[in-house]
Structure 1
């Protein structure tokens, strides 16, 4: 009986650890539309659907920064319109992005263009 209880407890602990281990990959991704700018000291996203709220960006898709750089934008921090799939999390208190209260973790790049829709972020 005790051995059975230990097995159930161990299984419960493993399930708990697995469910908490990667909080950013929980299937709760959302599509965000807004302006992305990139430069040596900043990667930011201005959410057009959230009154222009600005977020630090972490690019787990490995496509956002790549596609931005392939657009041959001559100056850093020139905004481009993007549609991305990702999750928003609270920013850390130190390091890159600490000056913004939230971070957008980009999981998938859907669209990137230099043409900013006139009805967006105005």
Structure 2
């Protein structure tokens, strides 16, 4: 899967380099496209249409990755930093999944909220 993810990212970077249409992409344009794709995911879920759901998730991934390509191009942050940030956030918010510790759904919700509050406090 890692290779396929990297291949997709390279394709999107190439697209940005050689396609005049893709070169006009902005965060705002990608946001608009992403909102549309998320709505299509919602409809696929409501319709229990797994084939369409798979396609719409792919379209959403495409749009998200295009945002990362634009961000890298503008030297704002890298895709690697985004992925590392997501991994670290999961580790902070759900440490028990790595230890095998069994917790209740109530404890999980409580610990999640505590972790989010700490993150918010640390940002201030």
TM-score, length of structure 1 as denominator length: 0.20
Which of these two proteins has the greater Rg computed from alpha carbons? 1
Q: Which has the higher contact order (CA 8 A, sep 6+)?
A: 1
Structure with greater strand share of residues: 1
Structure with greater helix share of residues: 2
